[in-house]
Structure 1
Amino acid sequence: MSQDTLPPGPRLPRSVQAALMLRYWPRYVSACRRRYGSVFTLRVASLGTLVYLADPTDIKTVFGGDPSVYHAGEANSLLSGLLGASSVLVIDGDVHRDRRRLMLAPFQRDAVARQLGLIADIAADNVARWPVGTEFAVAPRMSEITLEVILRTVIGATDPDRLDRLRDVMPKLLDVGVWESLAIQTPGLQRLGPWRRLARTMSDADDLLYAEIAERRADPNLATRTDALAMMIRASDGDRTGSRGMSDVELRDQLMTLLVAGHDTTATALSWALERLTRHPASLSKAVAAALADGSDGDEYLDAVCRETMRIRPVVFDVGRILKEPAEIAGYRLPAGIMVAPGIGLVHGSADLYPEPDRFDPDRMLHAALGPTTWLPFGGGNRRCLGATFALAEMRVVLREVLRRVELDTTTAPGERQRVKHVILTPHRGGRIRVLNVHDVTRSRTAGTSRQVHRG
């Protein structure tokens, strides 16, 4: 029988809980899980009342629930100032369903496969500039790679001048701090002195994105282009369901969404992968062997490394849904207006699902039957990340290029802590690594073979 009261939780003031979430998000939530069980309530200033869920059965109820009751877009509403009001991340209902359908084509398996060669080239060019013999933070390098991947494969930018401007402007916009975030959430502040620079940056980014959209619409070769922007325009223009296609403003919002959702997240996951591998020499050796294997022979183990990394170091710790009506979850009748939060990190850290959950072990992911509520780094249900297939493939390709081109030093240093950066969890020192040697790699993509020449 359902209870009308909320699940138990800490009685700390909302402001204190907000500070704890801001500073110790995974640790605080995990401590509550240990104390209160698989369902508990947090009351957080600026976020409201959150009911965390750690049981896959309860999470299945949310992911499989009626989208008109479980609003994910409303839960992400704070992002609308940056992404735009029509972003697929901040809308709900039929509008979300139609927008998502128009965005599917670039992220289907065949479309992703056509981009892998370009992703490999982008990664190889970047790795060639890594220092040798000096410890450095790999996160900024991974951010360079993933930004370039999005600019070239999603936006499809080719004009050299515009590409340079995008490379300059986008990192400034995507790496805003708490101070700038205030003005994104309250756009009126952007007219004031302290935030005018942010307003100029956002305006510059919009100008560049609209220029790309106009160029793509006018491209006589639009029908054969493989970038995501071109494919979204084709999907909009060719829609025969009665739904309206996307306007320039709506296309801009989706491009900004893909930049924000697919840039730092994938870069952070790759940084965690190298942070974990350099502390686990046996796994690193297996990963190097997989990277050197001909053709796709090594894909299985590299995929396992990526999946285990995202299990033990999820980039996003939870996802949210705002209840529009009362709902029965975990034996409680939860009221409308609260947020239910399936805890990705809580599930991934469950000893019942993953024995010795604190142990990094890619082998556990080989031939593993991963369910949609037991391994969920990309969320789930009708809001599962559109780019999940793309992100996994990008991670595998970039990881392969790194491991076949450089010899990484291992370390006995303690693992890096998870640092809260906006809504993601990054290595607190940037994923510091050391390259011992660089290899010259000659590869024939068509033959699927590779040759390494040691260069010390």
Structure 2
Amino acid sequence: MTETALPPGPPLPPGIQAGLLMKFWPRFLSTCRHRYGDVFTLRVASLGTVVYLAHPADIKAVFGGDPAVFHAGEANSMLAGLLGSSSVLVIDGDEHRNRRRLMLAPFRREAVADQTALIAGIAADNIGGWPVDRTFAVAPRMSEITLEVILRTVIGATDAGRLAELRAVMPKLLSVGVWESLAINTPGLQRLAPWRPFRERLRAADRLLYAEIAERRADPHLAERTDALAMMIRTGDMTDTVLRDQLMTLLVAGHDTTATALSWALERLTRHPAVLQQAVRAARTGDDEYLDAVCKEVLRIRPVVFDVGRILTEPTEVAGYRLPAGVMVAPGIGLVHRDARQYPDPDRFDPARMLGGTPGPTTWLPFGGGNRRCLGANFALVEMAVVLREVLRRVDLAPTRAAAERPRVKGVILIPHRGARIRARAVHAAPRMSCPGQADPADVRTGPSPGT
């Protein structure tokens, strides 16, 4: 046990380390891991001292540690300017445990299963407008799908005018770059002219969310509704402000993340023709196990979030070091996922490695872990599989020899740097309830898309 020294790490100034993380997040951490081992220390401007962990045993100890000591909410506190101070992501202790319990109902397996037909329909409607025989970035299309899924299944919006407003304002609000991050980290900046557009978008979103909350509270059929907002209202334990913060949290945590995972899925599949062929066969014959394996392998090799954080509230033994209070410990999701000790030939995209068993919670952890594991993890996996199935049923994707798209940092996620560019050779307008893979020849669109 090392009593005083922190684990080794790069001697660069904190500002330089912050810049390297913002620009080269996975590459910088992988380089540090190669040079310093499974435990290393970064000193990052605005974050402080961060000890990264890349061994499953050490990560297990953090995920299973006392939540009163390992504060995830405090580590996420910079998001409060957008999510709100009562968001389940930025609170700790008993308050977090109780809030999380109240939010579980919409994400239980049976509740998620009730939403699959709606998700499939939303995906099918969007896919029908995809261009043919023209390379395009699919990430914006996936963002449209996942936003619509949240608006309809989580918020339960049905008013046409309000839906249109939400569709317009939410993508702008949730497209958070470095500039917007400053206003989120320091809400006082929102009063200044350069950040007023962000403040106006946030106010517009709040107005729409509060209108949805009021409408749901007044709905005489509230007891029969299946959207997450209705279920949370039925608990009777959340004020309008608390409900708003949870809705914003679910929008932020479940929109771009799932859209990005789906974009990576198509980017990976189109660069691996044999896997693409098998995935298409699975989608069109109802082989859910293989599609699930594809989703899990995508989240392994291209995790949307590369690490998670916990701030220590007291001196604590972690990975052979006694770390002082105030240090952030960060289980390195991407570091574990690319570890040859856990996944032989880790750079190979191979969904077959996910068949026949469930990966361990500290070797496959795209949703974090412990008492802070993503509340909507099950929903996200189901949504991924349903949307991917609809794409592969309805679109004949052209394989490509184009170079792999590299991860680009966008806020706190890693997106394909060119938007996951794909090409559809044909789009099938198959009836939603038809046999998988079958469509009338008249319902197949090939050649240049109208208007392209």
Shorter-chain TM-score range: over 0.9
d(CA) in 2 for partners of 1:449 and 1:354?
33
The match for 1:452 among 431, 439, 446 is 439
Contact 1:2/1:328 (CA < 8 Å) preserved in 2? no
Contact 1:442/1:451 (CA < 8 Å) preserved in 2? no
d(CA) in 2 for partners of 1:393 and 1:305?
12
Corresponding position: 1:418 with 2:407 = yes
Question: Aligned residue for 1:41?
Answer: 41
Contact 1:409/1:434 (CA < 8 Å) preserved in 2? yes
Q: Percent identity?
A: 73
Alignment map for 1:294-373 (pairs within 5 Å): 297-373=286-362
What is the total number of aligned residue pairs between the two structures? 443
Aligned partner letter, 1:172: K
Question: Aligned residue for 2:147?
Answer: 147
Alignment map for 1:41-440 (pairs within 5 Å): 41-235=41-235, 237=236, 245-293=237-285, 297-440=286-429
d(CA) in 1 for partners of 2:2 and 2:150?
47
Deviates more, 1:368-377 or 1:33-42: 368-377
Deviation of the 1:191 alpha carbon: 1.8
d(CA) in 1 for partners of 2:75 and 2:130?
40
d(CA) in 1 for partners of 2:101 and 2:392?
36
Identify if the C-alpha distance between structure 1 residues 45 and 34 changes in structure 2 by more than 3 Å, giving closer, same or farther.
Answer: same
SS of 1:369's equivalent? coil
Deviation of the 1:439 alpha carbon: 1.6
Output one character per residue of 1:414-439: Cα deviation in whole Å (capped at 9) or x when no partner.
10000000000000000000001122
Aligned partner letter, 2:7: P
Aligned partner letter, 2:128: A
SS of 1:425's equivalent? strand
Aligned partner letter, 2:373: R
SS of 1:260's equivalent? helix
Output one character per residue of 1:205-252: Cα deviation in whole Å (capped at 9) or x when no partner.
0000000000001100000000000001112x2xxxxxxx11000000
Aligned partner letter, 1:289: R
Deviation of the 1:450 alpha carbon: 6.1
Aligned partner letter, 2:438: R
SS of 1:275's equivalent? helix
Contact 2:284/2:436 (CA < 8 Å) preserved in 1? no
Aligned partner letter, 1:231: M
Question: Aligned residue for 1:241?
Answer: none
d(CA) in 1 for partners of 2:103 and 2:201?
26
Deviation of the 1:393 alpha carbon: 0.2
d(CA) in 2 for partners of 1:339 and 1:443?
48
Deviates more, 1:193-202 or 1:160-169: 193-202
Aligned partner letter, 1:255: L
RMSD: 1.1
Contact 2:124/2:390 (CA < 8 Å) preserved in 1? yes
d(CA) in 2 for partners of 1:352 and 1:176?
35
Deviation of the 1:165 alpha carbon: 0.3
- TM-score, scaled relative to structure 2: 0.97
Aligned partner letter, 2:334: G
Deviation of the 1:176 alpha carbon: 2.7
Aligned partner letter, 2:440: V
d(CA) in 2 for partners of 1:369 and 1:123?
27
Aligned partner letter, 2:412: V
d(CA) in 2 for partners of 1:43 and 1:2?
19
Deviation of the 1:441 alpha carbon: 1.1
d(CA) in 2 for partners of 1:2 and 1:40?
13
Aligned partner letter, 1:384: R
Output one character per residue of 1:347-406: Cα deviation in whole Å (capped at 9) or x when no partner.
000101100000000011011331110100000000000000000000000000001101
Deviates more, 1:319-328 or 1:2-11: 2-11
The runs of 5 or more residues in structure 2 that have no matched partner are 447-452
d(CA) in 2 for partners of 1:359 and 1:342?
23
Question: Aligned residue for 1:240?
Answer: none
SS of 2:165's equivalent? helix
The runs of 5 or more residues in structure 1 that have no matched partner are 238-244
Deviation of the 1:194 alpha carbon: 1.6
SS of 2:438's equivalent? strand
SS of 1:328's equivalent? strand
SS of 1:420's equivalent? strand
- TM-score, scaled relative to structure 1: 0.96
Deviation of the 1:449 alpha carbon: 5.7
Contact 2:4/2:322 (CA < 8 Å) preserved in 1? yes
d(CA) in 2 for partners of 1:442 and 1:395?
21
Contact 1:442/1:450 (CA < 8 Å) preserved in 2? no
Aligned partner letter, 1:248: D
d(CA) in 1 for partners of 2:56 and 2:181?
33
SS of 2:439's equivalent? strand
Contact 2:121/2:432 (CA < 8 Å) preserved in 1? no
SS of 1:426's equivalent? strand
Output one character per residue of 1:102-154: Cα deviation in whole Å (capped at 9) or x when no partner.
00000000000000000000000000000001100000000000000000000
